[in-house]
Chain A
Amino acid sequence: EDQVTQSPEALRLQEGESSSLNCSYTVSGLRGLFWYRQDPGKGPEFLFTLYSAGEEKEKERLKATLTKKESFLHITAPKPEDSATYLCAVRIYNYGQNFVFGPGTRLSVLP
């Protein structure tokens, strides 16, 4: 069964304390892995797309990496405005155009 999990479920960091979020997947044929940020009461905001193992993408304090089994979202020196829920999603070859979403990681960055 195709499955996407994320860990930890929730993470509290002090401002400036770097850390990583994990997205693990067991799917039959990865077509792409996507990271989104979602603020409360809003729709997800697109961050990155990764397609193949070894690929990395960066944007400001965020860096996403991909292996054959998981992806990491590294947050360097986070600020309170980085507080949000981070969602990963995968697109699978035998699942048409749809995404399979992970449950998300709720990140809180304290000043």
Chain B
Amino acid sequence: GAVVSQHPSRVICKSGTSVKIECRSLDFQATTMFWYRQFPKQSLMLMATSNEGSKATYEQGVEKDKFLINHASLTLSTLTVTSAHPEDSSFYICSARDRVSTDTQYFGPGTRLTVL
């Protein structure tokens, strides 16, 4: 149980294009989903918190117009990196908080984004 999927697992795009990453909770309902960014050999950096049906809350320094987050249902959240640039290349990981077990976050497998 408590499985979170992400799609795609890897994406390569040209500078200036937009990329959408999907995060799904497969066997539970997630009222809250989180988006993280991780650089090589570093820990996770929280980008934003999204609650189903409401606007995401972004961490300080994260551009909300560049990283668009939508949490339209209890099982799906999307992160769109708009007008991507090489410095946006990173490993993006989502997590979901089980609606029943309200503390534990379950993580997706991550998406490796490379912007050329």
Contact = CB atoms under 8 A, between A and B. Distances in A.
A43 B108 contact: yes
Contacts of A41: 91, 110, 112
A41 B38 CA distance: 10
A99 B105 contact: yes
B110 to A, nearest CB: 5
Classify chain A's interface size: 20 to 34
Contacts of B112: 41
B49 A32 contact: no
Nearest to B4: A43
B49 A46 contact: no
B17 to A, nearest CB: 23
B43 A43 contact: no
Interface residues of B, number: 23
A31 B49 CA distance: 18
**Chain A interface secondary structure, helix, strand, loop or mixed?**
strand
Contacts of A34: 103-105
A42 B105 contact: no
Given A34-B105, A46-B2, A87-B43, 11 more contacts: A32-B103, A36-B107, A43-B109, A46-B104, A46-B107, A87-B44, A97-B32, A99-B105, A101-B44, A103-B43, A104-B43
25 contacts: A31-B103, A34-B104, A34-B105, A41-B91, A41-B110, A41-B112, A42-B109, A42-B110, A43-B4, A43-B95, A43-B109, A44-B44, A44-B93, A44-B95, A46-B2, A46-B104, A46-B106, A87-B43, A91-B103, A97-B32, A97-B97, A98-B34, A98-B46, A98-B49, A99-B105
Interface of A: 31-32, 34, 36, 41-46, 49, 87, 89, 91, 96-99, 101-104
Minimum-distance CB pairs A-B, first 5 = A43-B107, A44-B107, A43-B110, A43-B109, A103-B43
